[in-house]
Chain A
Amino acid sequence: MKKLRLWPHILRTSRNEATLWEENTMKLNRRIFLGTSAAAAASLAAPMSFAAGHGKPHVVVVGGGAGGATAARYIAKDSKGEVAVTLIEPTRQYYTCFFSNLYLGGFKEMDDLGHSYGGLAAGGVNVVHDWATGVDREAKTVALAGGGSVSYDKLILSPGIDFVDGAVEGWDLSAQNAMPHAYKGGSQTELLKAQLMAMPEGGTFAMVAPPNPYRCPPGPYERVSMVAHYLKANNPTAKIIVADPKPKFSKMALFQEGWAENYGGMIDWIGEDFGGGNVSVDPAAMTVSIDGEVTKVDVCNVIPAMKAGRIAELAGVTDGNWAPVNAADMSTKADADVYVLGDAAQQGDMPKSGYSANSQAKVCANAVRGALTGSKVFPAKFSNTCWSLIDTDNGVKVGATYEATDEKIAKVDGFISATGEAAELRKATYEESEGWYAGITADMFGA
């Protein structure tokens, strides 16, 4: 009981790997007191004791985000025990990258974005908290940082993104504390928020936006909106500079309208035409050079060019920065028994988003289960919607449906919010995005 009382304090103040296990265990203890999830605790208590066997086909999923968690959950749930599913995910508490901008803007608490894997474990998924460090596609095994390996019949990689080395001159991962990317949910998000809150009066917040393709196309611009929202209330003379290598961006007309209406004069977006792609940074001096002009800044959010999470490269299924996949089932072009979901996949027309990854995971789960158990495989259908928040109760969205063709995932139909929409509709759109967050996280984690 003493530990139970400490739990909220620990959750708030420390998220490093050493305490995460304890934190998670205590969270589960709390669940047991609530009488919900004894099975989850039991299976997490001995995560390494699993052995693929008993003649069951075995699916290994690497990465417990929108793609991997969904795929693991659906295969375990729909196969009703016929397929053994192991999920390899290093963190015990998953913080979504989607909605993290709303934390920066003060609309969400960090705890609102955190999810445990207890629901998946209770649903029959063997959750292993470890790093996958390599894949032997001949032997069909995945090596773990903690030692040993896990064998698979089908391997699903959903590792999200990593950053391209040298993408922004002067920046590498060793500079991520001085100039955070905050483009993976969790500690980086908290760091950026802390830096934002510590900005001096009238200071400058800089963002180096990424080139295409990257995770969450409207993400950087929603972030600019949320930073502006915070500054308008707390530091109204502060400025925001965005250096962008692109000539245009997702929902551009909607964001620019919203910025002009709500944050007039605060945001300076420098696109490709004005040298926004000619950028270098100096993390020690806290300066940004844009097209030769050096500016001293107080916060610098560097979002570098992205590539598939490293395990996809180690598995040898990437071509360039991403892993090419077949649209019908998300299997890789390189190996019919290895699938790649979400941001890491090169699939065609879908944007890299949590919604897309979740959508692809269901198509993949259906195909993998069919291949292993002979269950009926239905045709692939994909969809995506991205909501963004511009200001309080001012939400916008863009979405599309997709189908599988021989070449790629191809767009079928789409829509986007209009400029000049009524306040009532924008408010309803924001409320809908909250409904979506509750829906997709329940769909991912089964909680």
Chain B
Amino acid sequence: MRIALTVALALGMSGVAQADGLGDAEKGAKVFTQCKGCHQVGEGAETRIGPHLNGVFGRAAGSLEDVRYSPSMKRMGSDGMVWDAATLDAYIENPRALVSKTRMSFRGIKDAQERSDLLAYLRIYSDNPADIPEAEPTALGTDHDIDPAILAIQGDPEYGEYLASECKTCHQSSGANDGIPSITLWPTEDFVVAMHAYKRKLRPHPVMQMISGRLNDEEIAALAAYFKDLEE
């Protein structure tokens, strides 16, 4: 009840949800019921299983002090990822596609309108609108999932081995992780999804955005095919 009231008040006072191309906050409040097992938002919200979501728009990923984030989420934060409409939308659609080993155990919301409604609701509780990165309405609600045709490409491991030589300047083929993550033995789909998230600049790291930016779908599939079995 209290949440519904707050939504009504917030909508009535600012009308913010309509102004920026996000969806319907009241519907979003209902979508949020599936998040409530772990997340709180609104007055008095605290971090429980997952971080509280007050002020999540404009917050750097993995930046709340009292939360035990996954190393993957911490890395996204230190690489410069900030939660805005685009990154939140991608994360809610498929959490692991954006943050490989996130502790958020959630399958994702595939329906773009539901996500847009949810974001409209969450945005009410980001209390400094000046910090909210504006997003084009058309940039929202897009499909962040990878086209099944791309996932179905059978990569050529021999080509992958050659292409992988570029990766191995930093990522060790032994799988050692010294400040740069291991990329060996990843399931093919995770690898492809992660590389496309860099290619679309949803994942923040500038070197990875640059490297992935010039790899085509076949080349990414080839790398995935090579690294999935690489064990030294």
Interface size class of A (residues with CB under 8 A): 35 or more
CB contacts (< 8 Å) of B207 on chain A: these are: 385, 397, 399, 415
A294-306 interface bits toward B, Cβ cutoff 8 Å, 1 = contact, 0 = none: 0000000000000
Q: Is the CB of B169 within 8 A of A440?
A: yes
Q: Which of B50-58, B100-108, B131-139, B175-183 participates in binding chain A?
A: B175-183
CB contacts (< 8 Å) of A425 on chain B: these are: 78-80
Contact of A383 with B by CB under 8 A: yes
Contact of B171 with A by CB under 8 A: yes
Q: Is the CB of B75 within 8 A of A428?
A: yes
Q: Is the CB of B178 within 8 A of A438?
A: yes
Q: Which of B14-22, B89-97, B209-217 participates in binding chain A?
A: B209-217
Contact of A74 with B by CB under 8 A: yes
Give the residue name and chain of the A residue nearest to B62 (CB).
Answer: A424
A405-442 interface bits toward B, Cβ cutoff 8 Å, 1 = contact, 0 = none: 00000001111000000001101100111111011101
A137 to B166, CA, bound (A): 31
Q: Report which residue of B159, B169, B173, B207 has the largest number of chain A beta carbons within 10 angstroms of its beta carbon.
A: B169
Contact of B42 with A by CB under 8 A: no
How close is B215's CB to chain A, nearest CB, in angstroms? 9
A438 to B77, CA, bound (A): 23
Contact of A358 among B159, B169, B206 (CB under 8 A): B169
Q: Is the CB of B179 within 8 A of A442?
A: no
CB contacts (< 8 Å) of B145 on chain A: these are: none
Contact of A9 with B by CB under 8 A: no
Give the residue name and chain of the B residue nearest to A366 (CB).
Answer: B162
Q: Is the CB of B172 within 8 A of A415?
A: no
Contact of B178 among A355, A381, A424, A434 (CB under 8 A): A434
Q: Is the CB of A440 within 8 A of B206?
A: no
Known: A366-B162, A381-B163, A425-B80. A435 touches B214 (CB 8 A): no
A299 to B213, CA, bound (A): 45
How close is B217's CB to chain A, nearest CB, in angstroms? 16
How close is A109's CB to chain B, nearest CB, in angstroms? 16
B67-81 interface bits toward A, Cβ cutoff 8 Å, 1 = contact, 0 = none: 000000001011110
Known: A436-B169, A436-B180. A412 touches B79 (CB 8 A): no
Q: Is the CB of A412 within 8 A of B159?
A: no
A413 to B214, CA, bound (A): 9
Q: Is the CB of A378 within 8 A of B159?
A: yes
CB contacts (< 8 Å) of A431 on chain B: these are: 179
Contact of A433 among B159, B176, B179, B210 (CB under 8 A): B179
Q: Is the CB of A415 within 8 A of B179?
A: no
| 20 more CB-based (< 8 A) A-B contacts, given A401-B214, A436-B170 | A355-B169, A358-B169, A362-B166, A366-B165, A383-B169, A383-B211, A397-B206, A397-B207, A399-B210, A414-B210, A415-B206, A415-B210, A425-B78, A434-B179, A438-B179, A438-B180, A439-B169, A439-B170, A442-B172, A443-B172
What are 12 A-B pairs with beta-carbon distances under 8 A? A376-B159, A381-B214, A401-B210, A401-B213, A415-B206, A431-B179, A432-B179, A432-B180, A438-B178, A439-B178, A442-B174, A442-B176
